[in-house]
Chain A
Amino acid sequence: MSSAGSLQGEAAARDPHTPSPTLDRPDDYLHAQSTLRSWFLTTDHKRIALLYLASITAFFVVGAVAAGFVRLALVVPDGAIMTNDTYNKAFTIHGVVMVWFFLIPSIPATFGNFLIPLMIGAKDLAFPKLNLASWYVFMTGALFTLAAVVLGGVDTGWTFYAPLSTAFSNTWVLPALIGVTIVGFSSILTGLNFVVTIHTMRAPGMTWFRLPIFVWTHYATSLIFLLATPVITLALILLIAERAFHVGVFDPAYGGDPVLFQHLFWFYSHPAVYIMVLPGMGVISEIVPAFAQKKLFGYRFVAYAAIGLASVTFFVWGHHMFVNGQSDLASLAFSALSFAVAVPSAVKVYNWTATIHKGSLRLDTPMLYAMGYIGLFVLGGLTGLYLATLAINQHIHATYFVVAHFHYIMVGGTVLAFLGGLHFWWPKITGRMYSEPWGRISALFIFIGFNVTFFPQFILGYLGMPRRYATYPPEFQLLNVLSSAGSTILAAGYLFPMVYLVHSLWFGRRAPGNPWDAKGLEWETASPPPPHNFAGVPRVPEVPYDYPIQAPETGRQHT
């Protein structure tokens, strides 16, 4: 390892389009050490990101298989394929695993962990040991819950509403609750680490308005982690106490109020939607300028919109409770405030669109995902306005309209952003290029499969099919079969990347430092980066997103 210093120096001096020399043993973070111990006890944020990536991918597979069972059951209207009990357990596995163990940690714990120090020019996160601890906490809680929902089975759905979860369900609710509570701590630790890192670890010259939007959105997300997660922890503790000791606070039999659980639950779980969406918006804000080769339009407004979303989202949780007996005044206030969410969301969409406008577009795989994201997010967001409207909400509350709406945000938004980010930063993370044709084909499969699966659910919900039922009137069968058929296309789209990305690890072309001609400090270092990220203190450019095309915001155009 005596040549380590000189190799890193070379990596920094090299032309960014030339792959790193590989005849010698490479000195990047992947190859610096290779024992199991060096992975499981690592404090390198990049390796911890990969630990998270592997585990959440596994959870994604579990959740997706459960979704497959749900769609399979709904092919027939009379619930003949599986028992109602099995159906309930299947959609609970799907919801619990996807929300708590995939969507919430997905982008922050993987790309956030990997990229935030790189993007701000730091050697690591502020608290590297805490970062590793958060992964162990996550795995402990997640595996505990996974065992409960898969081996035992839970039938409450991911929301664990009382009194079903406390008094009526006779399934393994208690261990599932304990596991989810534990996972909350890992979110808090990750959020804490990001907040402190972004505040204190920025390289000299990296002012707030030179930060990539990805960092801004992760900062906003981390604030939600810190401010919202403890409240769900408390709600779950009370729920555990309720189920184990009959505390009674949520039990109408003693004069308790189940609606109070919903208040505490949604104080977290509505902002949690932005925990899932904001990081995705950060990913899109990186991909779009890179593949338009154009400066991000309205940088400051996109940054402010991230903080705006993270704040406004704490004032709207009651829109989940319009028909649950909450006061008319509360419904009115929550409904009016919910419309406000549309403003920062629209700011972002308009700015991405304006960035694409007159850009020099390359429709590579990450950009395909980004374009898909923008379209689906618009549909998901606009249908959110329907749901925020009190009178319409009465009609479509707890129907498939809601299911379709949040899948357009969660899958059309977060999952597409996750996959887009995975393809965008894959060369940086692994040092290998994947097969571009297969990337484009699977992006197309996912886009088509997603829409065929979920668009019919808008219609089903509008016609009145309630969510979470194992059976439905026969006239809904056509649309349900269409939805199930779409899910098989979607599944294929998910399977392709698992094959060609893994394949690229051994057989992919070596990736240069900056394969996309993208801007940002993470592209200034080698692919994969050295253990301490940069050879020296990185030089921070004065303008973020300093791409060749800068019109029309500034009125100038030079190429």
Chain B
Amino acid sequence: MSADPAAAGPVGMTRAEHFATIGQQRHAATLGMWAWLLTELLLFAGLFLTALILRLLHPEAVQAAAGHLKFWIGAANTVVLLCSSLTMSAAIELSRLGWQRMMVGCLVATASLGALFLVLKGYEYYADYEEHMMPFLARRPYALAEQPATRLFVNLYYVATALHAVHLLTGIAILVGLTWKASRPGFLQRHQNWIEVYGLYWHFIDLIWIIAFPVLYVVNR
């Protein structure tokens, strides 16, 4: 690790040995995150496609199943994630200003809102369980057992939301580690672009939910 003269300001980054310039390193990191997000997009696209095919194959069953989803919890959770996107954007702007303390505050808020989402999601799963809406549990009676095709959509809802929750959980875990590092003195001189690159991931996970909410909860009502 060698310090670059360009990084002498309040905000900057350290050049890794195998990069020729800071600009190259910054560009590589941003492009790398976008390449990763491409894969995330295609992953969830497969799920949304499956939801669409189910809707085409079994329109009545999908509507009956979607009627049992907790529409208002889903909507509230979308608001929670929109708030977290705001705090993440604010953290990025603050990191560019070099206002470390406020930035760390925004990162903590972002992680907390993410955790709130998971708590609400957990409550939603619990409510589903109470209503016998977990057809994948072999021993538990299923509320819509007379319509076997409904279990396809309900189960897909669990796969989709669980996969999103795994991404959010991973995101929160990384964010906690990042926040801890970001609160060290001199962090923004060395690794300011970490905040920006991480922000891309967080916004994208929000984006996935913002698409998933209507696809699962709204259009099939």
Contacts and interface: CB of A to CB of B under 8 A. Distances in A.
Physical contact A–B (CB less than 8 Å): yes
Interface of A: 122-124, 126-128, 188, 191-193, 195-197, 199-201, 226-231, 233-235, 237-238, 241, 245-249, 253-257, 260, 264, 267, 532
Contact of A241 (B17, B46, B61, B159): B159
A124 B25 CA distance: 12
A254 B149 contact: yes
B39 A255 contact: no
Interface string B15-58: 00111000010011001100110111111111101100110011
A200 B46 contact: no
Interface stretch (B150-158, B172-180, B201-209): B150-158
Given A227-B42, A234-B43, A249 B35 contact: no
A124 B54 contact: no
B149 A255 contact: yes
B185 interface: no
B46 A235 contact: yes
Given A196-B32, A233-B43, A254-B148, A227 B156 contact: no
Contacts of A255: 57-58, 61, 148-149, 152
Nearest to A194: B35
Contacts of B19: 201
A235 B53 CA distance: 14
B38 A227 contact: yes
In the A-B complex, the 3 residue pairs with the smallest Cβ-Cβ separation, listed nearest first, are A234-B46, A230-B43, A255-B149
Count chain A CB atoms within 10 A of each CB in B32, B44, B46, B136 and give the residue with the most.
B46
8 contacts: A197-B28, A226-B38, A227-B38, A230-B46, A231-B46, A247-B156, A253-B148, A254-B148
Contacts of B17: 123
A229 B17 CA distance: 31
Nearest to A192: B35
A231 B45 contact: yes
Contacts of A246: 136, 138
A188 B35 CA distance: 9
A192 B46 contact: no
Contacts of A264: 46, 49-50
B163 interface: yes
Interface in B106-156: 135-136, 138, 148-149, 151-152, 155-156
Count chain B CB atoms within 10 A of each CB in A126, A188, A231 and give the residue with the most.
A126
B212 to A, nearest CB: 14
Nearest to A233: B43
B155 A248 contact: yes
A126 B57 contact: no
Contact of B28 (A191, A200, A237, A532): A200
Contacts of A192: 32, 35-36, 39
Nearest to B23: A200
A230 B58 CA distance: 26
B46 to A, nearest CB: 4
A15 to B, nearest CB: 29
A91 B39 CA distance: 31
Contacts of B163: 237
A193 B151 CA distance: 40
B31 A254 contact: no
Count chain A CB atoms within 10 A of each CB in B27, B138, B159 and give the residue with the most.
B159
Contacts of B54: 249
Range class of the B interface residue count? 35 or more
B169 to A, nearest CB: 16
Given A196-B28, A238-B159, A248-B155, 4 more contacts: A122-B18, A226-B35, A229-B39, A257-B57
A235 B46 CA distance: 8
A230 B39 contact: yes
Nearest to B42: A230
Nearest to A126: B28
Nearest to A124: B18
Contacts of A126: 28, 32
Nearest to A128: B18
A247 B152 contact: yes
Given A200-B31, A231-B45, A255-B149, A260 B159 contact: no
B50 A238 contact: yes
A40 B16 CA distance: 21
B53 A195 contact: no
A398 B11 CA distance: 61
B152 A249 contact: yes
Count chain B CB atoms within 10 A of each CB in A234, A235, A253, A267 and give the residue with the most.
A234
Contacts of A233: 43
Interface string B91-114: 000000000000000000000000
Contacts of B28: 126-127, 196-197, 199-201
A235 B32 CA distance: 24
Contact of A200 (B24, B40, B155): B24
Nearest to A229: B39
A234 to B, nearest CB: 4
Given A126-B32, A127-B32, A255-B149, A260 B43 contact: no
A91 to B, nearest CB: 28
B136 A247 contact: yes
A260 B41 CA distance: 19
A260 B39 contact: no
A78 to B, nearest CB: 41
A197 B25 CA distance: 10
B9 to A, nearest CB: 23
A302 to B, nearest CB: 25
Contacts of A127: 28, 32
Nearest to A127: B32
A553 B45 CA distance: 45
A237 B158 CA distance: 12
A201 B46 CA distance: 32
Contact of A230 (B24, B40, B156, B159): B40
Contacts of B58: 255
B38 A248 contact: no
Contacts of B36: 188, 192
Interface in B153-211: 155-156, 159, 163
B156 A201 contact: no
B201 to A, nearest CB: 13
Contacts of A235: 46
Given A233-B43, A245-B136, A257-B57, A196 B31 contact: yes
Count chain A CB atoms within 10 A of each CB in B27, B40, B45, B151 and give the residue with the most.
B151
B31 A199 contact: yes
B42 A247 contact: no
A127 B27 CA distance: 12
A231 B42 contact: yes
B24 A249 contact: no
A123 B18 contact: yes
A502 B44 CA distance: 45
A122 B17 CA distance: 11
Contacts of B41: 230
Contacts of B40: 230
Contacts of A195: 31, 35
Interface in B63-108: none
